[in-house]
Amino acid sequence: MFVNPLKLTTNNLFAKKTMPSINLPNRILISLLYFLLISTMHPAYAKAKFSINIAYLSQEQKIPPQLSNLDPFVKDKGLKGAELGIADDNTTGEFTGQQFNLVKFIVPLEGNIVDTFNKDIANKFQYVIVNLNAEQLNTLADLPAAKNMLLFDVATLDDALRNEQCRSNVLHLLPNRAMRADALAQYMLKKRWNKWFLVIGNSPEDRLYADALKRSAKRFGIKIVTEKTWEHTYDARKTTQSDIAVFTQVDDYDVLVVADEHGEFGEYLDYRTWLARPIIGTQGLIASAWHKTHEQWGAIQMQNRFKDKAGRWMEEQDYGAYLATRALGEATTRSVSTELSLIKAYLLSPAFALNGYTGAPLSFRSWDGQLRMPVLLAAPRSLVAVAPIEGFLHPKTELDTLGYDQAESHCQWTPQ
């Protein structure tokens, strides 16, 4: 279970900090192990030689109908981020004697993810980076084989997965819709643009995003003056000019908030509304974990390193997968173990602090497995703000002003 000790300066700290959240038999076990560790520490750098295998699971996507030809379709979103993270982990590993191996499984469009999971991943991997949709993720999480695994979700935005539908063997690396909506609402409140015209697309995801926006509006005292569902064409060449002008003749508002996750019409709204009003939401000013305009806090180095490796900009899923591999790297190095229960305890402990190049230490919320992280508010070519916005206070960490705080969470983790 344990491998050779490394020279760790934080052992005691970790042991102390994580203790209260771990049950008694484990506490005794961990105390013993740390005692062993400390007593065997050698002044010379003891190299622990062990390797950790991480699976990356994704499925081929249908190329969506394109709104414009400006953005190329990226096939390997997520994978490149995981690869960079593994490379970073292995650079650290050269000094600590750890070897990180990433094995990718890309299920074909018509393939079956459960078959791949059971055949190729179960019993071979304990750590899986999952780049799939919400339904697929929970299907996998509920499989008997996943019971003793930790799944790193780098794709879903669903609030339900952080609440009623949460799973104790899943950690979420990207901000959910509620966090994004809260980020937008905080900034709007700062600008005093607190009368919203909400425009919702026709997909189920659009309705979920709209729900999150409504929750935020209520939370921050913003008024949704009008709410409308988009009912027009998705083709700009037709009658967009007149359609949008007519569609947006509503009571006065400060900003138009659009929920169009697939980008089917949102881009058409700007400059075509009846009143001269800015667009925010899924188009215009967007809320995202990562954005190409972001350069602060060492992000420029991250952007450059990623571009050198992947030959393209880093997408959100890449960022999520990078953070997943880095979190695992940190946890294995700090807990000097590849043992699932210790890794998980470390990741969910207050001792865990991950750099995400966004100015605040990232950690996991112990109540729903969501990564606690800043949310960027970006226009297409400029970073406008980073939430939490100054002035939104919280007794523990201002990052918990975004999304579902402990008291609001409906997640009840059943012990694995």
Partner 1 sequence: MINKTSLSLALWLLCLGNVSAESVFVTLENDNALAVVDPIAGKLIKTMPIGQRPRGIAISPDHKFLYIATSDDNTIKIIDASTFKELGHLPSGKDPETFALNPAGNRIYVSNEDDNLVTVIDVPNKKAIKQIKVGVEPEGITVSPDNRWLVSASETTNMVHWIDTKTNTIVENTLVDPRPRAVSFTADSQQLWVSSEMAGSVMVLDANNQQLIKTIKFEISGITADKIQPVGIVIDKQRHRAYVALGPANRVAVINAQSFEVEKILLVGQRVWNLAFSPDQKRLYTTNGTSNDISIIDIDSQTVTKSIGVGTYPWGVAVKP
Provide the binding-site residues for partner 1, judged by CB under 8 A.
Answer: 6-10, 13, 43, 45, 88, 91-92, 95-96, 298, 301, 304-305, 326, 330, 333-334, 353-355, 359-361, 394, 396-399
CB of 301 to partner 1, least distance (A): 6
Choose between 136 and 186: whose C-beta lies nearer to partner 1: 186
Task: Indicate the burial class of 395 (C-beta count within 10 angstroms; 0-12, 13-18, 19 or more).
Answer: exposed
CB of 40 to partner 1, least distance (A): 14
Give the separation between CA 39 and CA 405, rounded to whole angstroms.
40
Choose between 356 and 369: whose C-beta lies nearer to partner 1: 356
Secondary structure (H, E, C), 44-88: CCCCCCEEEEEEEEEECCCCCCCCCCCCCCCCCCCHHHHHHHHHH
Give the separation between CA 213 and CA 216, rounded to whole angstroms.
5
Triad 276, 281, 284: Cα angle to 5°: 55
Choose between 137 and 302: whose C-beta lies nearer to partner 1: 302
Give the separation between CA 258 and CA 200, rounded to whole angstroms.
6
CB of 45 to partner 1, least distance (A): 6
CB of 21 to partner 1, least distance (A): 18
Choose between 155 and 362: whose C-beta lies nearer to partner 1: 362
Sequence-distant (≥ 6) Cβ neighbours of residue 241 within 8 angstroms: 272
Q: Is 35 helix (H, G, I), strand (E, B) or coil?
A: helix
Choose between 200 and 399: whose C-beta lies nearer to partner 1: 399
CB of 9 to partner 1, least distance (A): 4
Choose between 149 and 342: whose C-beta lies nearer to partner 1: 342
Map tokens 């009846």 to a residue.
Answer: 274
Give the separation between CA 181 and CA 100, rounded to whole angstroms.
36
Choose between 48 and 122: whose C-beta lies nearer to partner 1: 48
Q: How many residues does the chain have?
A: 416
Q: Are 350 and 143 in contact (CB under 8 A)?
A: no
CB of 367 to partner 1, least distance (A): 18
Choose between 8 and 137: whose C-beta lies nearer to partner 1: 8
CB of 89 to partner 1, least distance (A): 9
Which residues in 111-122 are b (16+ Cβ under 10 Å) and which e?
A: eebeebbbeebb
Question: Within 72-231, where are the H helices?
Answer: 79-96, 113-116, 134-141, 177-191, 204-220
CB of 398 to partner 1, least distance (A): 6
